[in-house]
Amino acid sequence: MPRSTSAAGKAPGRSSGQAAAPVKARIRRPKRFASHQTALKYLNDSVNVERMRPANVDRGVFRLDRMRAMMDALGNPERDVRCVHVAGSKGKGSTAEMLASCLSSCGYTTGLYTSPHLTDVRERVRINNRWIDEDEFTAALGAAAAAAEAVEARHGQATYFELLTALALRFFAERAVDAAVLEVGLGGRLDSTNVVTPEVCILTAIQLEHTQLLGSTLAEIAREKAGIMKPGVTAITFPQCDEVMGVFREEADRVGAPLRVLGKEIDFSYRFEATPELGPHARVCLTSPRTTYEHLAVPLKGEHQALNCGLALAALDHLRDRGFDTPERQVALGLAATPANGRLEQVWSSPRILIDGAHTPDSLHALVKAIGAHVRYDSMVMIFGCAADKNVDGMLSKIALGADKIIFTRSADNPRACDPADLQRRFAERSPKMTQVEPTLKDAINTAYRAVGRDDLILVTGSFYLAGEAKRLLADAAAKRKPAQQVEAKA
């Protein structure tokens, strides 16, 4: 049975600076959808920034007054959920997954809210790694939609992400989860998730990303991410460049948030090793007056994941001070159970096909490095496609270092996808490596299949859209017991 935390420490209250506006509307009854598909249509008809080119995004869409009003209309479920808030450019999803898995292993009913999704929007809202089911999703969206419509006249139409965030917070509160791990969607300061006052904040790696929306320098982006800091709420990060750390310390001092850094205020170390059971992997150590986590295996591949794991362990250590019991054995079991979910995730075994949602030059560099350290293969065919508004040239320079052959394609699900022929042309300016263009991902997978041998590797990367489409295609093929080369025959 999950342990209750109701008597084990009280979550910090909302500060006066975070007070919600007076209640202007309160839903009387949830909106009723005729079916799950009707609910999805309602959601998909809303403004979805994730699918828009940055130049087309109205900056006015990023605001918290509407989200706070929606929370008021729902009865403020965010105040009933003890949570951990995770922001950053890269690694926030991995950190959230590891932390949630550990809390579940320790016996707590744990909510997890992440974005984007790979195959189904319901995977964004989970309790103990179980997706919210269709009926639950439809009902929770009905409540969120009613709240949105109740405040629309005063605050404007709710966005896709606002509806999902309201849905998740309402669902977690109704299910009385012991804890919830919330991943920021975009930025932090004005992100829809920033209506919570968490037990602890986590700040992962800061990189140049979403520059048209968040700022053109690391300092500007770091300031947006640091916007999740709250008075009196500890914030945890790892050492980053002076530009980023300067902003973090400045913002922590400004709001009155204790800032703790791995390897400085927090005793932390990691090393790489190889064992017959796990192969090459990292192990981490973190000690404090409350906790000793010694040589725990990092479940996700890549040196950067050791730091993300350290952040998760530091958050668990802090939660012990907030009344949670997180013993090392259960934490180790929780780490081992962490799902990969688009992070060097193997989705086909013969030939091996891996997917990864890397979509920045830094993340692709880390991906190529992780494959070299953790995966044995003779040659690698990379299937690559990305959004046109990303740092395309920077990404192309990184994939030139790792793949033996590249097949450029595009996701059918991404309206911002870059033209594969354009990718091939720009790549040819940087590398003489063999390339090919395929109009669809199904064609690219079949072409790659014909080009590889038993000990070779196929990697699909460049965007979560592409990784998610590959996962759906191959899951459908496996369910129908079709060989990979016949994926193209699927309707």
Instruction: State how far the Cα of 478 lies from the Cα of 9, in Å rounded to an integer.
Output: 47
Examine the pLDDT at 447 and tell me if it is beyond 80.
yes
SS percent in the chain: helix, strand, coil, step 5: 45, 20, 40
Closest by CA position to 30, among listed 183, 141, 164, 128: 141
pLDDT in tens, 255-278: 999 999 999 999 999 999 988 888
Instruction: State how far the Cα of 409 lies from the Cα of 469, in Å rounded to an integer.
Output: 12
Return the minimum-mean-pLDDT range out of 69-83, 157-171, 342-356, 467-481.
467-481
pLDDT at 212: 82
Report the DSSP beta bridge partners of residue 131: 126
Cβ 258 vs Cβ 43: under 8 Å: no
pLDDT at 48: 93
Report the DSSP beta bridge partners of residue 272: 282
- What are the backbone angles phi and psi of residue 475, rounded to the nearest 5°? -65, -40
Examine the pLDDT at 393 and tell me if it is beyond 90.
yes
C-alpha distances in angstroms, 142 versus 79, 194, 232? 20, 22, 35
Question: Percentage of the chain with pLDDT > 90?
Answer: 80
Mean pLDDT over residues 140-163, rounded? 97
pLDDT in tens, 5-56: 433 333 333 333 344 444 456 777 889 999 999 999 999 999 999 888 777 7
pLDDT at 487: 52
The alpha carbon of residue 310 and the mean position of all alpha carbons in its chain are separated, in whole angstroms, by 17
Q: What is the pTM of this model?
A: 0.90
pLDDT in tens, 72-123: 999 999 999 999 999 999 999 999 999 999 999 999 999 999 999 999 999 9
User: 490 pLDDT band (50/70/90 cuts)?
Assistant: very low
Continuous segment of H or E residues that includes residue 373? helix 361-374
Alpha-carbon dihedral 26, 29, 31, 35, rounded to 10 degrees = 150
Mean pLDDT over residues 403-416, rounded? 92
Instruction: State how far the Cα of 45 lies from the Cα of 247, in Å rounded to an integer.
Output: 38
C-alpha distances in angstroms, 275 versus 279, 297, 455? 5, 11, 21
CATH of 345-489, one of 1.25.40.10, 3.90.190.20, 3.30.70.330, 3.40.640.10: 3.90.190.20
pLDDT at 481: 65
- Amino acid found at 410: R
Cβ 158 vs Cβ 62: under 8 Å: no
Mean pLDDT over residues 310-318, rounded? 98
Examine the pLDDT at 423 and tell me if it is beyond 50.
yes
- What are the backbone angles phi and psi of residue 93, rounded to the nearest 5°? -65, -45
Pairing of strands 235-237, 259-261: parallel
pLDDT in tens, 197-245: 999 999 999 998 887 889 999 999 999 999 999 999 999 999 999 999 9
pLDDT at 366: 92
User: 489 pLDDT band (50/70/90 cuts)?
Assistant: very low
Domain ranges of the chain: 18-336, 345-489
Instruction: State how far the Cα of 351 lies from the Cα of 454, in Å rounded to an integer.
Output: 6
Tokens 């995730």: give the residue.
Answer: 345
Give the CATH fold of the 18-336 domain: UDP-N-acetylmuramoyl-L-alanine:D-glutamate ligase (3.40.1190)
Cα of first residue to Cα of last residue in the chain, in angstroms, is 44
Mean pLDDT over residues 418-437, rounded? 96
Report DSSP state, residue 206: -
Mean pLDDT over residues 168-190, rounded? 97
pLDDT at 50: 86
Instruction: State how far the Cα of 428 lies from the Cα of 408, in Å rounded to an integer.
Output: 12
- Mean pLDDT for the chain? 91
